């Protein structure tokens, strides 16, 4: 029963400390963007943020508004070579 309560309390953004500033291009895993191997990410530009919300978009698409607790974000890793 404890595992069920723990699962219901889980938020996707829990444990994700990376919160990019407006103008940053990063990788974002939105709500319901998961598969059997884990989170799936898109490359998006952050347009606006505050303590609770983030607005981002993929070039050529409409902006998306989400709460930080519903998404995970991470920086784009640069490949040296």
Chain mean pLDDT for the chain: 87
Please state which architecture CATH assigns to domain 2-74.
Roll (2.30)
**Which distant-in-sequence residues (6+ apart) come within 8 Å of 24 by Cβ?**
45, 46
Whether residue 39 contacts residue 29, with contact meaning beta carbons closer than 8 Å, is answered with yes
Instruction: Give the residue from 63, 6, 64 showing the smallest Cα distance to 32.
Output: 64
Q: What is the pTM assigned to this prediction?
A: 0.79
Across the range 11-16, mean pLDDT stands at 80
pLDDT tens digits for 24-49?
Answer: 999 999 998 888 878 899 999 999 99
- Cα 45 from Cα 21, distance rounded (Å): 10
Return the percent helix, strand and coil in the chain, to nearest 5. 15, 35, 50
């Amino acid at each position: 029963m404890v595992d069920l309560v723990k699962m219901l309390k889980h938020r996707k953004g829990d444990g994700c400390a990376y919160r990019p500033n407006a103008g940053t291009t990063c990788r974002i895993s939105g709500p319901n963007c998961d598969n059997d191997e884990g989170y799936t990410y898109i490359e998006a530009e952050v347009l606006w943020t505050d303590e609770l919300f983030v607005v981002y978009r993929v070039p050529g698409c409409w902006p998306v508004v989400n709460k930080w607790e519903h998404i995970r974000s991470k920086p784009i890793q640069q490949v040296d070579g």
